[in-house]
Chains A and B, each alone.
Chain A
Amino acid sequence: MINYFDNCATTRVDDDVLQILNKFFTEMYFNPSSLNKYSLEVARYIADARSRIANALGASSPSEIVFVSGGTEADNLALLGSPKRKNCNIVVGGAEHSAVYNTAMKLKNSGIDVRFCPVTTDGHTLTEDVAKLVDENTSLVAIMHVNNETGAVNDVKSIVSAVKKINPTALVFSDGVQAVGKIPVNLSNLGVDLYSFSGHKIHASKGTGCLYVRRRVSLNPVLTGGGQESNLRSGTEYVGGIVTLAVAVEKAVASVEEHSRAFNRFKQIIADKLQEIPMCKVNCSKDVSPAIMSVAFAKIKSEVLMHMLENSDIIVGMGSACSSKNKHSRILSAISLDKDYIEGVVRISFSKYNTEEQVRYLAEKLKENVSLLRKTMGVRF
């Protein structure tokens, strides 16, 4: 059996999700835009899914939910589709996911003033740091809700109110891909204008996701065509994906507390074992998502550790996607991780399918392999 601890990368699809999906592939496969009676029925399924998701996430109206193909598309729509005035600027968090970072760089290259906000050593973006960069010309602020590498949870609500105080017309967008279903999310309460999330991180299928667009916020579509999704996202709807996304969101949101308790227990088990390993540290321990644990081991290459663990049927993520020498993770560099540690970051991310027994096995194997690897590499402290 695989002990899968890379649930930030993607998750196993739930059995009920798969069953429902199947039905939409083989029985209810009609195009919701067609004018036959079956199409009307599938269109109703989409409307139902929209209102269920709006309810589960505290949106004020189902019309605020726009279905897209996943987190990356939602992030692109938010950044590229939000209106930009002449001489405007955009404020972007310093530890954003590539889908936001690279899209912001694209805007920067097209001549827009893009301002990157610093991050703290544990990966948080602070409200006061954001506020310093916002002015009357700011058109968009993009700060992620939960960091995908360290799990740091940003205080999006306070960021929104600080931004609006300086410039009420600036839109605030938050990438919630690692937040929905992992920590409590209430969109109205957060006050954001735009918020993205993805289905495959919460046991729905790949190719599903949403952009929340607060009422009266107007975006320009990135994809044009048949005018689906109130003209914001043309293309025939992935009906089964949309319906099952609603199922997955409802389930994940309903069990956030229960899972958080379990995940925090898992973290404690690992933390206890880490005490026995010299020169290692947890990258973010305050205001952090229970589902993510980023651990750095000094003088180790995380890729090698990852392969050693996979030999014991354990899958973890690499904190740093460093693929060649001197090319470290942008985010881990942003949190100023010491050079001895920066190559040795492992990201452990939990799902409801993980058991305490698996976590104990992981903790044991971490200790065993870190020690073996350090011995092989001739590392001594």
Chain B
Amino acid sequence: MKVILIRYSEIHLKGNNRGFFENALINNIRHSLADKKYKLVKQSGRYVISEFEESEADSIVETVRNVFGVYSVSLADEVKSDYEEIKKSALAIAPESGTFKVVCNRADKRFPLNSMQLASSIGGDLLENNGKLSVDLHKPQHLVNIDVRENGKTFVFTNSIKGVNGMPVGTGGKGVLLLSGGIDSPVACYMMAKRGMSIRAIHFHSYPFTSLQAKEKVLTLAKILKKYTLHMTVDVVSFTEIQTAIHEKCPEEFMITIMRRFMMRIAERLAKKYGCGAIITGESLGQVASQTLESITSTNAVATLPVLRPLIGFDKDEIIEIAKRIDTFETSILPYEDCCTIFLPKNPVTKPRLDVVKRVESVLDIDALVEQALENVEIIAV
């Protein structure tokens, strides 16, 4: 019978809270496999999925390896702990050529051969059966794993597929993400979800200055991110009034700084409303004028919640590499303008002083503008 073995990552380091992390992981795996039929049990420090449609095996493996907290996944044969059965299975899954090593783990001490004996004996069988194979105990190209369990069953499998690691989503608190539609913010989302944070997104749009296609693109990104965050809701905030007010009344070079301070205020209000303990942004130090230390200081000053910037030390290339890996890159580079690119000043201030920023924005009725924006939030569950 085919089974899927799931090993988890740092959860095993947890002490008394281990049950909490394990439960979160198992719930998340169940959530991502909601449309599939299968049986999931915990067996000595790992999960075993069985009784699934064999045609769905690859899709289950792919889904599970993307659940945070999963260290690796293997598609295995489950056979009776009987030498002939184990041999038959090992011959069936063995590589066609190259070097290999048999790795045995014998939890059931009643099994007549010990680990070393079983490994060398099965290794011998494989060599005898296929002349194109040879043994390399140090740097083998392939592994043949044999895991003799205490319940009278043995798992036989070749390579393990690496999971995404991290911590189960839901174990790291809740945060709101500023999701722009660019390359960085989806990656920031991924990074925080990887550390177990539950995330909901906020998107600022400026119709008619930006198109509905731009908003649609953000929703598409949110759908892609849902694969990692498991749940995803986007609060779409209309930013047009605020932007036009800033444009009308404040010096052009402060446009972006003041705009980002408004975004932060609105994000904090929404975060508190939803019981979130952090604001997540895709900022990377020095990437653009609004991401210098001085600019970050100015925007940070309006937030009381911690602002998490998981990409702060990343180069653009590194961010793009992750964006490609998590499948958000191709959507992010669609050419619809987001609200950051309109009213773009020719020479944005790169080192805003907080006292100056406060003075120049004081001409605005900040509270009223924030309230008005909060009244018209469109909540979209993707």
Contacts and interface: CB of A to CB of B under 8 A. Distances in A.
Contacts of B114: none
Interface string A335-370: 000000000000000000000000000000000000
Interface stretch (B11-19, B302-310, B334-342): B334-342
Given A323-B335, A323-B336, A324-B335, A307 B247 contact: no
Interface string A151-187: 0000000000000000000000000000000000000
Contacts of A378: 247-248
A377 interface: yes
Nearest to A309: B208
B344 interface: yes
B363 to A, nearest CB: 15
A325 B341 contact: yes
Given A325-B344, A376-B244, A376-B247, A304 B209 contact: yes
B211 A303 contact: yes
A262 B1 CA distance: 75
A324 B344 CA distance: 12
Q: How extensive is the interface on chain B, given as a class? A: 10 to 19
Contacts of A327: 335
Interface in B45-63: none
Contacts of A304: 208-209, 342
Contacts of A324: 335, 337, 341
A307 B208 contact: yes
A377 B208 contact: no
A41 to B, nearest CB: 44
Contacts of A307: 207-209, 211-212
Interface string B343-356: 11000000000000
Contact of B337 (A311, A323, A376, A377): A323
A303 B337 contact: yes
Contacts of A311: 208
B183 to A, nearest CB: 13
B9 to A, nearest CB: 40
Contacts of B344: 325
Contacts of B211: 303, 307
Interface in B329-382: 335-337, 341-344
A377 B335 contact: no
A377 B209 CA distance: 11
A376 B343 CA distance: 10
B68 to A, nearest CB: 33
Nearest to B209: A304
Contacts of B244: 376
B336 A308 contact: no
Contacts of B337: 303, 323-324
Contacts of A376: 244, 247-248
Contact of A377 (B207, B247, B341): B247
Nearest to B337: A324
Most buried by B among A301, A304, A311: A304
A217 to B, nearest CB: 39
Interface string B212-226: 100000000000000
A327 B212 CA distance: 20
Contacts of B212: 307
A161 to B, nearest CB: 42
B6 to A, nearest CB: 43
Contacts of B336: 323
Interface string B94-124: 0000000000000000000000000000000
14 contacts: A301-B209, A303-B337, A304-B209, A307-B208, A307-B212, A308-B208, A311-B208, A323-B335, A323-B337, A324-B335, A325-B344, A376-B244, A376-B248, A378-B248
Interface of A: 301, 303-304, 306-308, 310-311, 323-325, 327, 376-378
Interface of B: 207-209, 211-212, 244, 247-248, 335-337, 341-344
Task: Pick the 6 closest A-B CB pairs, nearest first.
Answer: A307-B208, A323-B335, A308-B208, A304-B209, A324-B335, A376-B244
Given A307-B211, A310-B208, A323-B337, 7 more contacts: A303-B211, A304-B342, A323-B335, A324-B335, A325-B341, A377-B247, A377-B343
